[in-house]
């Protein structure tokens, strides 16, 4: 999993578990780790929201790393936007920075079989 500390897979699992909580019908979780001060993140957000609408079977979460620092656990994010994608089982399937193009989300979900 690029860009995220490989020594903290439990933090990724915990993040996905919190995202999936209460959504037994979900097939996947997509978490965008961002920051309010990041212009690239702000530009990416509308496309992220469109991707969420296009994939109602998945749980999408926009997580500002400063406003919700407690949700990150031991993760240290340096590149924005960073996506964390996991299956319904909460197992991380992708974690890393992506080009700020909303189409990337659909391609990743398809490539991961989610």
* Contact indicator for 48, 33 with CB cutoff of 8 Å: no
In angstroms, the CA 85 to CA 110 distance is 12
For residues 86 and 93, the answer to whether their CB atoms sit within 8 Å is yes
Residue-level pLDDT at 6 = 52
CATH number at residue 45: 3.40.30.10
Question: Is 109 part of a structural domain of the chain?
Answer: no
Instruction: Indicate the number of domains in the chain.
Output: 1
Q: Is residue 32 part of a domain?
A: yes
| Residue-range definition of the domain harbouring residue 41 | 1-20+27-90
pLDDT per residue rounded down to tens, the chain (114 residues): 444 545 578 889 999 999 999 999 999 999 999 999 999 999 999 999 999 999 999 999 999 998 988 887 777 788 889 999 999 999 999 998 888 887 889 999 999 998
Does 108 reside within a domain?
A: no
Asked whether residue 56 is assigned to any structural domain, the reply reads: yes
pLDDT at 62: 96
Instruction: Quote the strand ranges of the chain, DSSP E.
Output: 28-34, 58-64, 82-87, 92-97
Q: What is the pLDDT at residue 63?
A: 94
13 belongs to a structural domain = yes
Quick one: tokens of 95? 């974690």
Residue 104, in any domain of the structure: no
Distance CA 62, CA 44 (A): 11
């Amino acid at each position: 999993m690029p860009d995220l500390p490989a020594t903290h897979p439990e933090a990724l699992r915990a993040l996905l578990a919190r995202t999936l909580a209460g959504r037994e019908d979900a097939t996947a979780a997509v978490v965008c780790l961002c920051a309010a001060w990041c212009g690239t993140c702000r530009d990416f957000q509308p496309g992220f929201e469109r991707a969420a609408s296009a994939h109602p079977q998945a749980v999408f979460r926009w997580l500002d790393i400063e406003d919700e620092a407690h949700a990150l656990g031991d993760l240290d994010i340096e590149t924005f936007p960073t996506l964390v994608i996991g299956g319904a089982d909460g197992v991380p399937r992708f974690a890393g920075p992506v080009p700020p193009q909303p189409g990337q989300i659909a391609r990743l979900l398809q490539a991961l079989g989610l």
